[in-house]
């Protein structure tokens, strides 16, 4: 409806401009005014056209000043068209990946660990002193991934590059430089994890990259990671919602998301909560807590679940 209204407004404005230009030209012709020594007939034509152009310019400038949509249409239309084409291409690519996933061809989802190992980069030491350790870690990742992901059940093809190749050593040095540039503490320890940087489908060659996380204390033992309010007498407890909030909290603190799934919940505590709550009255708070000091290098960890009266 908005588009139709704009078309109607443009038609009305065009008619108004034509009418005003005609009336101005008519008046100039009646008064037999001249411009630059031209005959009155030509002068009236020039004035009519000029008046219409001036009104159109004023309307255009007014529209540009009043509406960001108009400014976008005038000055960023080419950029928007390119962006739309890019997004359409991405949508087609994602649809293709989705179809492959539904067909059972997805072997390793994006950002999944491709090897259950990590390396700690010490910013207090030089890159050259740690390059050999990084190279050993790289080759370990390749060996482990090739052993685990090229089986008939998964169906990927082996990765063939080694850390001794110049291009790989250059990538390792670049990654260490990026980790230094993105970390404010020059004495921090950085955890490197090998992950699939894109969805890997059966028949494809193994490919991976490294995500890095500052290995610092993110939550102390006993700290509440998330909580939800529940009513006594409720027959069902939404533990999944509680865990999802805890996961969101930890990801916001830059905990590796690869270590959050599947969640390791204290099943005995969950059973105790679900058996108690239907017999209680009043308002309670269900909390998810970490039983240990939580650093990224801890990896997957258990979550304690507690029920306490709401305050």
pLDDT for 234 equals 83
- Residue 135 above 60 pLDDT? yes
- The most confident of the ranges 90-94, 178-182, 259-263 is 178-182
pLDDT for 61 equals 75
pLDDT digit string, tens, across residues 46-59: 766 777 777 777 77
pLDDT for 24 equals 64
- Residue 209 above 70 pLDDT? yes
What's the pTM?
Answer: 0.65
pLDDT digit string, tens, across residues 182-208: 999 999 999 999 999 999 999 999 999
Partners of 211 in beta bridges: 193
- Residue 1 above 60 pLDDT? no
In the chain, where are the structural domains located? 2-75, 108-214, 224-309
Helix (H) or strand (E) holding 198: none
Q: What is the mean pLDDT of the chain?
A: 84
- Residue 42 above 90 pLDDT? no
Which residue do the tokens 């950002």 mark? 111
- Residues 232, 277: contact at Cβ < 8 Å? yes
Categorize the per-residue pLDDT at 71 as very low, low, confident or very high, splitting at 50, 70 and 90: low
- Candidates 220, 163, 217, 225; CA nearest to 189 is 217
Report how far apart, in Å, the C-alpha atoms of 19 and of each of 5, 13, 15, 162, 215 are: 21, 10, 6, 78, 74
């Amino acid at each position: 409806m908005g588009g139709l209204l704009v078309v109607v407004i443009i038609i009305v404005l065009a008619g108004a401009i034509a009418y005003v230009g005609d009336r101005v030209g008519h008046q100039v012709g009646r008064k037999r005014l001249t411009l630059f020594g031209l005959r009155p007939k030509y002068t009236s034509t020039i004035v009519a056209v000029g008046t219409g152009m001036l009104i159109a310019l004023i309307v255009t400038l007014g529209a540009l000043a009043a509406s960001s949509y108009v400014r976008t249409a005038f000055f960023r239309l080419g950029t928007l068209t390119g962006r739309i084409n890019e997004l359409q291409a991405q949508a087609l690519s994602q649809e293709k990946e989705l179809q492959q996933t539904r067909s059972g061809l997805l072997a390793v989802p994006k950002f999944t660990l491709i090897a259950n190992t990590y390396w700690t980069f010490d910013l207090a030491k030089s890159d050259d002193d740690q390059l050999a350790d990084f190279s050993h870690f790289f080759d370990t990742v390749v060996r482990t991934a090739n052993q685990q992901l090229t089986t008939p059940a998964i169906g990927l093809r082996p990765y063939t590059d080694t850390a001794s190749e110049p291009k790989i050593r250059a990538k390792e040095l670049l990654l260490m430089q990026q980790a230094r540039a993105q970390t404010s503490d020059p004495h921090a320890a950085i955890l490197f994890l090998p992950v699939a940087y894109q969805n890997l489908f059966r028949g494809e060659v193994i490919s991976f990259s490294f995500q890095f996380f500052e290995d610092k204390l993110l939550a102390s033992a006993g700290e509440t990671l998330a909580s939800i309010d529940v009513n006594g007498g409720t027959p069902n407890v939404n533990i999944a919602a509680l865990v999802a909030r805890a996961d969101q909290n930890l990801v916001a603190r830059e905990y590796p998301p690869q270590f959050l799934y599947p969640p390791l919940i204290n099943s005995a505590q969950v059973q105790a909560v679900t058996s108690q709550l239907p017999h209680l009255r009043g308002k309670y708070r269900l909390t998810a807590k970490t039983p240990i000091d939580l650093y990224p290098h801890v990896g997957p960890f258990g979550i304690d679940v507690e029920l306490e009266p709401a305050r």
